[in-house]
Amino acid sequence: MRRSLLRFLVTFTLLATPVAVGHAHAADKPTIATLNVSAQAGITLASAAMQGRIHGVRDVVRTLTAGAAAGAGIYEAKALIGDGRVAAGWILANVTGSVSENVAAGRHPLAQIGYSIGPMRLRVSIPRFDPDSDARVHADLSGWEGFMAVQAARESSRMELRSGLIGFRRSTPYPGDGAVGATFGLFPGVADNDPVTWQHEVIHAVQDLQIDLVEPAKFGFAFRRSETQPADHQAWFRIEHLKNGVFNVANHLLLAAQPYDRRWVEIEAYRLADKAEPTR
């Protein structure tokens, strides 16, 4: 009975999340906030289940609660970015998103606090909540974000460090539809000096980040600790995983099949940054 209930809860959450997101075209700010809470809870549960971290109803409730809290924080981060406080919003997204990342991996919600810079995510261990960590700082690399960095560089004139993340600038509008902004994974790009364009594109980067955070480690490669290192020794720094970005690849394929003005990522960015609906 308990196992059947567990399967039901996991299945219901995974099915309900994309349905909720699919209604984002009618979203106002409260609806967008609700969608962030429910979607982040859903993908956190999915990731935890894939990583074998769900063993009973208590684990389901704990994971959903942590994922929902992370989703609320990520929404507030996007709202800050939309109001012009881009650096503060990017930091908040990384910090609050760490809660979802930790729980999906089976750690205490506050075990490690992460920050993504380009294709690398650094995670600082908090000793009180992560006593068994074998390193003070862990690093994950992303093949998906590495590929996106190459794409961003090819489409841009130069790279720049702005608002705490790596961005790109182009001297002319982007080819094709003549857009003045484009985001490649975690790399926002702009072709004008309007701060709203930058805010819009950074919100897209946060959307990519919140999926990256819960990417299961099984979709990639794990780097083992050195066999010469004593079992009780804590290193200062260790590269832990190389992830492929399967979750984000799947998400981008789904979005590509939707009309531009119906994509939840565009609706959210326009609502929060441009204070309008998608215009094309």
226-264 pLDDT, tens digit each: 655 555 668 899 999 999 999 999 999 988 888 988 899
pTM, 2 dp: 0.89
Sorted by sequence, the CB contacts under 8 Å of residue 66 that are 6+ apart come out as 44, 99, 100, 102, 103, 109
Separation of alpha carbons 102 and 273, rounded Å: 29
Higher local confidence (pLDDT), 276 or 16: 276
| Residue 279 within a domain | no
Indicate the number of domains in the chain: 1
Residue written as tokens 């012009």? Answer: 84
Judged against a pLDDT cut of 60, whether residue 140 lies above it is answered with yes
Judged against a pLDDT cut of 90, whether residue 7 lies above it is answered with no
* pLDDT (0 to 100) of residue 240: 93
| Residue 16 within a domain | yes
Q: How far apart are the first and last CA of the chain?
A: 50
| Residue 171 within a domain | yes
| Residue 161 within a domain | yes
| Residue 280 within a domain | no
| Residue 220 within a domain | yes
Portion of the chain with pLDDT greater than 70, in percent = 87
Predicted confidence band at 15 (pLDDT cuts at 50, 70, 90)? very low
Domain span at residue 229 reads 2-274
| Residue 249 within a domain | yes
What does the pLDDT look like over 108-133, one tens digit per residue? 999 999 999 999 999 999 999 999 89
* pLDDT (0 to 100) of residue 221: 85
Higher local confidence (pLDDT), 248 or 15: 248
**Closest by Cα among 117, 100, 7 to 62:** 100
| Residue 104 within a domain | yes
Separation of alpha carbons 73 and 36, rounded Å: 9
Q: What is the dihedral of CA 30, 95, 118, 212, to 10 degrees?
A: -60
Higher local confidence (pLDDT), 169 or 18: 169
Predicted confidence band at 6 (pLDDT cuts at 50, 70, 90)? very low
Judged against a pLDDT cut of 80, whether residue 82 lies above it is answered with yes
